Amino acid sequence: MKIYQIDTSARKEGSTSRALAKKLLDKIKKPKDEVIYRDLNDEMIFISNLTESGMKIPEDKKTAQHKKMFELSDKLVLELKDCDTIIISVPIYNFGPPATLKAWADLAARVKETFKYNEDGSRVGLLQDKKVYLIITSGGTKVNSSEDFLTPWLVHVLNFFGIKNIDIIAADQMAIDYEKSISKAEKKILDINIDE
């Protein structure tokens, strides 16, 4: 099995979402499994200076910035296609996703690669048969509440890619009761049956 682990927290040290993702990886990884790791803070590009809609730019119109953007986009798409299980650790920042996660989604959304359009205009995700674990942390926002704009957006993006098998592990409202939040998330990780 290939596991794709994506960390998104702006904090390298002391990040709860990163620590929980590590615990989850230790729980589900078997000796022969391969792990592809990506820290979105190490290498991320924001889409800009497009010449037309979508990520389509004629080769002769591509600038050096465009080429770098497409090179990273190609890498991200390949990583998604090439894995069986995905772990995404993400804190809620000001009710929504970190900017780097939004940039990742923008670069990974490639027509005929991660999704396609049918003749009737409907969309079909091309990354089916993958399992995703979302580690979501927050200080005050309750996951899946009316003020949580991260979780429904991220689930929608993954569904858009064809990924429906999604398990959410939340350590939310840590500012209210840190120990309770962490214990709840750690118990959910502990209870995961990797043989299902």
Q: How confident is the model at residue 94 (pLDDT cuts 50, 70, 90)?
A: very high
Q: Which residues of 44-81 are buried (b: 16+ CB within 10 A; e: fewer)?
A: bbeeeeeeeeebebeeeeeeeebeebbebbeebbebbe
Average pLDDT over residues 76-93: 97
Q: How confident is the model at residue 170 (pLDDT cuts 50, 70, 90)?
A: very high
pLDDT of residue 196: 56
pLDDT of residue 47: 80
Examine the pLDDT at 3 and tell me if it is beyond 80: yes
For the chain, give the mean pLDDT.
93
Phi/psi for 100 (5° steps) reads -65, -30
For the segment(s) 2-190, the CATH number from 3.50.50.60, 3.20.20.150, 3.40.50.360, 3.40.50.300 is: 3.40.50.360
16 is in an annotated binding site: yes
* pLDDT tens readout for residues 35-84: 999 999 998 988 876 655 566 777 887 788 888 888 999 999 999 999 99
pLDDT of residue 17: 97
15 is in an annotated binding site: yes
Examine the pLDDT at 153 and tell me if it is beyond 60: yes
Domain locations in the chain? 2-190
Question: Comparing C-alpha atoms, which of 4, 188, 187, 185 is closest to residue 91?
Answer: 185
146 is in an annotated binding site: no
Question: Comparing C-alpha atoms, which of 21, 23, 30 is closest to residue 1?
Answer: 30
pLDDT of residue 67: 86
54 is in an annotated binding site: no
17 is in an annotated binding site: yes
Q: How confident is the model at residue 16 (pLDDT cuts 50, 70, 90)?
A: very high
Q: Report in angstroms the alpha-carbon separations of 130 from 16, 60, 158, 166, 176.
A: 25, 36, 10, 9, 34
Among 23-27, 49-53, 63-67, 129-133, the minimum mean pLDDT is found in 49-53
CA atoms within 13 A on the CB side of 56: 6
DSSP state of 51: S
9 is in an annotated binding site: yes
